[in-house]
Amino acid sequence: MKVTRKRNKPSRRAEPELAPVEIRLMNLGDMEAAFELGLKLFTAEKLPTLYRSWDEHELMQLFHTDEETCLVAVAGERLVGFALGRVMDKPRSAWRYGWLEWLGVEPRYKRSGVATRLLNHLTNLFIERNARIMLVDTDEANHSALAFFRRQGFGQDIRHVYLSLNLENHPKYIEKKADELEADEWDE
Ligand SMILES: CC(C)(COP(=O)(O)OP(=O)(O)OC[C@H]1O[C@@H](n2cnc3c(N)ncnc32)[C@H](O)[C@@H]1OP(=O)(O)O)[C@@H](O)C(=O)NCCC(=O)NCCS
């Protein structure tokens, strides 16, 4: 299927047509491009919580433990989206959860159904692995993602609050910095 960009207003300048998009399992060779796309999407200004936890280690770890539920969207050679999930078992519980941890689509490809296709594929993979509930989470201010998830039928919101503490004022932190300074002075 060819993915075409939707437009609200007709424009005189023809936009270049988007290349067809294929959804497939992620492989090691996709890692760098997926990481770069995440850096572009999860910015400190727009999505501070996601920005904080998106790093190469997180991506590598998820891929190593849950390779079978990590998907990418590719247009030719180019990675244009990802959906990274994991299946979770609660000890002593009959419930098995499929958690979509990371979802992202290259800006040029937004609103052309790429995330919907990624989500549909991932849902199938979760069901094949006997998940009974699917979970997603995101910043409260991430309106586009919330609109997307609601459109896909997600609801029953539970609010979760992140709090932070500046450790630079902690006595242990101050002591550590003073020790490091002293060590540097000895080295000079
Ligand atoms: C959220 C995101 C993944 C959606 O990807 P997408 O490929 O554009 O989504 P789709 O094209 O499949 O959208 C399907 C429907 O979701 C809704 N939707 C998607 N983006 C929307 C937006 N910005 N505003 C309002 N509704 C939106 C619409 O109903 C849309 O259908 P329509 O285009 O026919 O109106 C994408 O915007 C993104 O990468 N955001 C940054 C990363 C992020 O926030 N990830 C989620 C948390 S990890």
Q: How is residue 69 annotated by DSSP?
A: G
pLDDT for res 15: 61
Q: How confident is the model at residue 1 (pLDDT cuts 50, 70, 90)?
A: very low
For helices 31-41 and 56-66, give the axis angle rounded to 10 degrees: 130
Ligand 1 in reach of 102 Cβ (< 6 A): yes
Q: How confident is the model at residue 94 (pLDDT cuts 50, 70, 90)?
A: confident
pLDDT for res 187: 82
State mean pLDDT over 104-131: 97
**77, pLDDT greater than 50:** yes
Angle formed at CA 164 by CA 162 and CA 169, multiple of 5 degrees: 175
The pTM of this model reads: 0.85
Cα-Cα-Cα-Cα dihedral of 97, 122, 36, 22, to 10°?
180
Strands 133-136 and 96-105 come out as parallel
User: Nearest CA to 17 among 95, 108, 98?
Assistant: 108
The residues facing 135 across adjacent strands are 99
Q: Domain spanning 22-160 has what CATH number?
A: 3.40.630.30
Strands 133-136 and 22-25 come out as unpaired
Summarised one tens digit per residue, pLDDT across range 129-158 is 999 999 999 988 899 999 999 999 999 888
**Alpha carbon 64 to chain centroid, angstroms:** 16
Q: How many residues does the chain have?
A: 188
**109, pLDDT greater than 70:** yes
User: Nearest CA to 82 among 99, 49, 66, 106?
Assistant: 106
- Are 149 and 99 spatial neighbours (Cβ–Cβ below 8 Å)? no
7 or 149, higher pLDDT = 149
Q: How many CB atoms neighbour CB 31 within 10 A?
A: 17
pLDDT for res 14: 56
Mutational test site, ligand 1, from 111, 117, 118, 136, max ligand atoms within 8 Å of CB: 111
From ligand 1's centre to the CA of 87, what distance in Å?
23
Summarised one tens digit per residue, pLDDT across range 35-55 is 999 999 998 888 888 888 899
**Can you give the residue ranges of every domain in the chain?**
22-160
Ligand 1 in reach of 114 Cβ (< 6 A): yes
Taking the C-alpha atoms of residue 184 and residue 115, their distance in angstroms, rounded to an integer, is 50
From ligand 1's centre to the CA of 179, what distance in Å?
49
**13, pLDDT greater than 80:** no
163 or 168, higher pLDDT = 168
From ligand 1's centre to the CA of 145, what distance in Å?
6
